[in-house]
Amino acid sequence: MIAFEKRAATILFNLIRSHPTEGPFLLPANICPIVPMVFFKARRPFEFIDIAPSTLCIDHDALVDRWLAPNHKPAGIIYVRTYGAIFDASDIFTNIKSLSPNALIVDDRCLCPPEFSGMLAPHTDVALYSTGYAKYVDVGFGGFGVISDDIPYARTESTFNGRDLDEMTEHYKNALKTQTGYSYKDSDWLDTATPQETWSAYRERAEQEFIRISEIKTAINSIYSDRLPLEIQFPSAFQSWRFNVQVRDKAAVLDAIRREGLFASGHYDSLAGLFGPGSAPFAQTVHHHVINLFNDRHFSPEQAIKLTDLLAHFEPLTPGPLFS
């Protein structure tokens, strides 16, 4: 089935509330902070697992080790495709299903190009996509899930207050900024109302935007890949959502970019130990050294050229410790 909601977080909320298996869900430590907020709101426990250097996704060996631990067996996983990278994860999904046939496996593809075929990979219960702000296809709202027919999904509608969302967002951002433990306070921050747009109209709009944005990304990525040092570039599999580079001194590079009136961003910090249990040293390393260069409709090829010219003459532009 296809579940279509105002945002992908609503689909995840409905899924984990509907899932009958008890136990914690396992999340990658560098996940978008809105995901643990969904688990807090749904009153479902979770734990963080570090990511692996080879995939930048949740560490497969650590997943299996946690499943075999003597304490409560997990109820499922949220497998986030870091930077929108697509590769075959069927081996780990098959392994988890062999350990817990009723485990819920959510393939979180919110940073990937949306796929409307309705197909699921083997041993995948849900493929989750987003078309909200800053996603690969950004139509300003919306998310959809391809859900296996044997997975329960019950919609929930409740009151939504935009100010509650703003306050919650400010609260968790402050916790990350100060590196202090986050304490969740429930409110009406999640929009669960039925989308006003029909599924067919939404799909058509998203497919048209996919065509447009793919051309923009290809043009801007070509500028970055041709003009930036190869040793700071990520492998091509990680460059569809944004163009990612690894640098030794992230703060200095970002400051130089902003002084020139340009913009770039860092990516999600590790949430382990702040939003829930877990330790994630490699996720912290990635956060400390990775910069996302924009390649969407908010950034022009001329800006990309100006940015690469700036970085070419920036003395501290030395590679970070990833992929070495």
Over residues 23-53, the pLDDT tens digits come to: 999 999 999 999 999 999 999 999 999 999 9
317 confidence band (pLDDT: 50, 70, 90): low
The residue length of the chain stands at 324
Residue in the structure block whose two tokens are 């978008």: 32
Token code pair at residue 22: 């008890």
Hey, CA dihedral for 122, 47, 276, 244, is it positive or negative?
Answer: negative
Q: Which pLDDT belongs to residue 248?
A: 86
Report how far residue 149's alpha carbon sits from residue 191's, in angstroms, rounded to the nearest whole number: 25
For 13, the token pair is 């909320």
pLDDT at position 315 is 62
Q: Tokens 């970055």 identify what position?
A: 224
CA–CA gap between residue 77 and residue 87 (Å, rounded): 17
Say if residue 129's pLDDT is above 80. Answer: yes
Min mean pLDDT across 8-12, 65-69, 308-312 is at: 308-312
Spatial distance between the Cα atoms of 122 and 91, rounded to a whole number of angstroms: 9
According to DSSP, the β-strands at 2-5 and 143-147 are antiparallel
Does the domain at 2-156 match CATH 3.40.640.10? Answer given as yes
Angle at 240 between CA 319 and CA 211, to 5 degrees: 155
Question: Which is more confident, 121 or 57?
Answer: 57
In the chain, where the domains are located: 2-156, 201-312
For the entire predicted model, the pTM comes to 0.95
Residue 200 has pLDDT above 60, yes or no: yes
CA–CA dist 320, 252 (Å, integer): 13
Is a pLDDT exceeding 90 seen at residue 266? Answer: no
pLDDT-based confidence at residue 321 (cuts at 50, 70, 90): confident
Q: How many angstroms separate the CA atoms of 262 and 239, rounded?
A: 20
Residue 65's region, left for phi above 0, alpha for psi from -120 to 50, else beta, is: alpha
> Residue 222 above 90 pLDDT?
yes
pLDDT given at position 316:
58
Sign of the Cα torsion 108, 62, 18, 268 reads: negative
Question: pLDDT band at 157, cuts 50/70/90?
Answer: confident
Residue 276: alpha-carbon gap to chain centroid: 17
Fold of 201-312: Aspartate Aminotransferase, domain 1 (3.90.1150)
Predicted confidence (pLDDT) at residue 169 exceeds the cutoff of 90: yes
Residues 6 or more apart whose CB falls under 8 angstroms from that of 285 comprise 321, 322
